[in-house]
Amino acid sequence: MSQAKTEFLERSKTFWNPGKTQDWIDMGVDLVIDRREGYHLYDMDGRRLIDLHLNGGTYNLGHRHPELVEVLKAGTERFDMGNHHFPALARTALAEALQAVAPGPNFKYTAYGSGGGEAIDIALKTARHAAQKKKIVSIVKAYHGHTGLAVKTGDDRFSKLFLSEDAQGEFVQVPFNDLNAMEDALRGRDVAAVIMETIPATYGFPMPEVGYLPAVKKLCEKYDAFYIADEVQTGLMRTGEMWGCTKYGVEPDIMVTGKGISGGMYPIACVLISERCGGWLSEDGFGHISTMGGAELGCIVAMKTLEIIQRPEVRTMVQYIGDYLRAGLDDIMVQFPDFFIGIRQHGVIMGLEFNHEQGAKPVMKHLYENGVWAIFSTLDPRVLQFKPGLLLSQADAEDVLRRVAIAVELARDEVMGSRRRTY
């Protein structure tokens, strides 16, 4: 580590976040991201990493995608964040563009947050208003963000810390892929909404069983609850379709998109709201106020992001990247059957499963040392989140596989003990 980096990390601990700074160092990841371009990150000491974390799809199109940089620059010639109280050119234009690609014909409005958590809060408030009920059902180990309501839908590790856990029994959690538990939670008809990550990301992408999500939607209909799809990580073409929920045959009542919609260039998150749920927007349009929500520069970038993502070439790219990486990962898995035990995949959403309670961490560390940045799943550290971008080049994909094979072997030897190499 360079002197400069050592000094910087000290400053990071002093002024920013001592715990987080130290945790990464402890995990063997002394990363300080400096330059970034396409799917490449450069550590402040100059080391290159291929980014397979992408902050959950924020960098779907790569870091600083030239067209997004261009549109943002051009946008500043005319726009700033705008005045959130007034009808705004860019907010309306993006809402119109989103309606055109919404996962169903019933979507009508878009409300804006400045980040995913806020958008989730808006979605939950919207459902409560429309249902005139309070209860929210979510999935055990779900992750919807850390704002006031969103944090209550997730793992209590994050709410308890701040004495912010649900105390009124308004937030119920049921295990994923468990329809009985879901029905039990809904049976009382006192639930406003079920909120679902289409594939729970921070939980390591356990995949919905065939028929699970549509059945949840049916249960919602049966018991008068709304279905909120959190498409923050599964939307925007990552499954090979615009929205993951569409692939599973679900038309939600409310949908949240974040991360990637910003192109990684200007913060924004969006709540798509069906006509049925959008009553508050007429009743009291000032009901949710957010100065930076839907900042107009963010809208400008988001529209370009949507346009790029819908180009026909992107669909083929996603297919190639998913198929190619899967074929290569299958080959690697065969070599280390006692350690690398599974792949969860839908498009370029992938989770690599390791046969050790914390197995993804050493893999992450060795990948890091071998030039690839992919992060373990906070809520299931057996699983490495493996999230290639939509536009990953063939050369980078091939290079990723080469590096993964090396890192998995090193991690395996570290965790399970060296076995075959007998030098």
Ligand X SMILES: Cc1ncc(COP(=O)(O)O)c(C=O)c1O
> Within the chain, how many helices (H) and strands (E) appear?
15, 15
Instruction: Provide Rg for the chain, Cα atoms.
Output: 22
Determine if 363 is a binding residue for other proteins (CB under 8 A).
no
Angstrom distances, CA of residue 279 to CA of 239, 263, 310, 333:
31, 30, 30, 51
Determine if 189 is a binding residue for other proteins (CB under 8 A).
no
- Contacting ligand X within 50-69 (CB under 6 A): 56
Helix (H, G, I), strand (E, B) or coil at 364: helix
Bridging pattern class, strands 171-174 and 376-377: unpaired
Q: Closest CB to other proteins among 12 and 393?
A: 393
Least Cβ distance, residue 254 to other proteins (angstroms): 21
Q: Closest CB to ligand X among 109 and 143?
A: 143
7 φ, ψ (degrees, to nearest 5): -65, -40
Count of residues binding ligand X (CB under 6 A)?
Answer: 16
Q: Closest CB to other proteins among 17 and 316?
A: 316
Q: Closest CB to ligand X among 269 and 392?
A: 269
Site track 244-283 with other proteins (rule: CB under 8 A), x = hit: ---xx-----------------------------------
Residue 217 interacting partner from other proteins, ligand X, none (CB closer than 5 to 8 Å by kind): none
Least Cβ distance, residue 151 to ligand X (angstroms): 10
Sequence-ordered alpha helix ranges (H) in 114-166? 116-131, 156-160
- Contacting ligand X within 182-241 (CB under 6 A): 197, 201-202, 230, 232-233
Determine if 182 is a binding residue for other proteins (CB under 8 A).
no
Determine if 319 is a binding residue for other proteins (CB under 8 A).
yes
Determine if 120 is a binding residue for ligand X (CB under 6 A).
yes
Helix (H, G, I), strand (E, B) or coil at 278: coil
Helix (H, G, I), strand (E, B) or coil at 212: helix
Determine if 116 is a binding residue for ligand X (CB under 6 A).
yes
Least Cβ distance, residue 144 to ligand X (angstroms): 5
Determine how many CB atoms are found less than 10 A away from the CB of residue 46. 9
Q: Are the C-beta atoms of 187 and 129 separated by less than 8 Å?
A: no
- Contacting other proteins within 82-101 (CB under 8 A): 89-90, 93, 96-97, 100
- Contacting other proteins within 225-244 (CB under 8 A): 239-240
Helix (H, G, I), strand (E, B) or coil at 385: strand
Select from 39, 50, 59, 75 the one that contacts other proteins (CB under 8 A): 75
Using the CB atoms, write b or e for 370-407: b if 16+ within 10 Å. Answer: bbbbbbbbbbbbbbbbbbbbbbbeeebbeebbebbbbb
Least Cβ distance, residue 234 to ligand X (angstroms): 8
Select from 265, 317, 372, 407 the one that contacts other proteins (CB under 8 A): 317
Q: Are the C-beta atoms of 381 and 157 separated by less than 8 Å?
A: no
- Which residues lie closer than 8 Å to 284 by C-beta, 6 or more apart? none
Q: Closest CB to other proteins among 66 and 188?
A: 66
Select from 59, 112, 143, 386 the one that contacts ligand X (CB under 6 A): 143
Angstrom distances, CA of residue 166 to CA of 5, 17, 123, 169:
41, 26, 18, 6
Q: Are the C-beta atoms of 34 and 58 separated by less than 8 Å?
A: no
- Contacting other proteins within 6-45 (CB under 8 A): 26-28
- Contacting other proteins within 370-409 (CB under 8 A): 382, 391, 393-395
Determine if 264 is a binding residue for ligand X (CB under 6 A).
no
The stretch near other proteins (CB under 8 A) out of 75-83, 115-123, 164-172, 215-223 is: 75-83
Q: Closest CB to ligand X among 139 and 408?
A: 139
Residue 105 interacting partner from other proteins, ligand X, none (CB closer than 5 to 8 Å by kind): none
| AA identity, residue 384 | L
CA-angle at 137, arms to 262 and 342, nearest 5°: 70
Determine how many CB atoms are found less than 10 A away from the CB of residue 122. 27
Q: Closest CB to other proteins among 4 and 327?
A: 327
**Binding footprint of ligand X on the chain (CB under 6 A):** 56, 115-117, 120, 143-145, 197, 201-202, 230, 232-233, 258, 269
